[in-house]
Amino acid sequence: MGVVTPGFQGRARSGNPRLPPGQYLAEDFPVLSAGPTPRVRTETWEFTVTTETGEKHAWSWSELTALPSEKFTVDIHCVTQWSKLDTRWRGVPVDTLVGGLDTAADYVMAHSYGGYTTNLPLADLLDGQAWIVYEYGGKPLTPEHGGPARLLVPHLYFWKSAKWVRGLELKTRDEPGFWENVGYHDYGDPWREQRYQGD
Partner 1 sequence: MARTAVSGRLAWRVARLAEFRDETPTARTLVFDLPGWPGHLAGQHVDVRLTAADGYRAQRSYSLAAPADGDRIELTVQRVADGEVSEHLTGPYAIGDPVEIRGPVGGWFVWRPADLEPVLLVAGGSGIVPLMAMVRAHRAAGVRTPFKLIYSLRTPAELYYAEELRTPVAGLDVTYVYTREQPEGRDEIPRRINVATLNTAAWPAEFGATCFICGPTGFVETVADILVALGHDPHRIRTERFGPSRD
Ligand X SMILES: Cc1cc2nc3c(=O)[nH]c(=O)nc-3n(C[C@H](O)[C@H](O)[C@H](O)COP(=O)(O)OP(=O)(O)OC[C@H]3O[C@@H](n4cnc5c(N)ncnc54)[C@H](O)[C@@H]3O)c2cc1C
Site residues (vs partner 1, CB under 8 A):
1-11, 13, 22, 26-28, 30-38, 80-82, 114-115, 144, 178, 181-183, 195-199
Binding to ligand X (CB under 6 A) within 63-92 occurs at 80
Give me the DSSP letters along 130-164.
-EEEEEETTEEPPGGGTTT-EEE-TTS-GGGS-TT
Whether the Cβ atoms of residue 150 and residue 135 lie closer than 8 Å to each other: no
DSSP letter (8 states) at residue 67:
S
**Nearest approach, Cβ of 130 to partner 1 (angstroms)?**
25
Residue 140 near which of ligand X, partner 1, none (CB within 5-8 Å, type-dependent) = none
SS3 165: strand
The amino acid that residue 46 corresponds to is E
Footprint (CB under 6 A) of ligand X, residues 20-49? 24
Q: CB 32 → ligand X: shortest distance, Å?
A: 8
- Which residues in this chain contact ligand X in the complex, by CB under 6 A? 11, 14, 24, 80
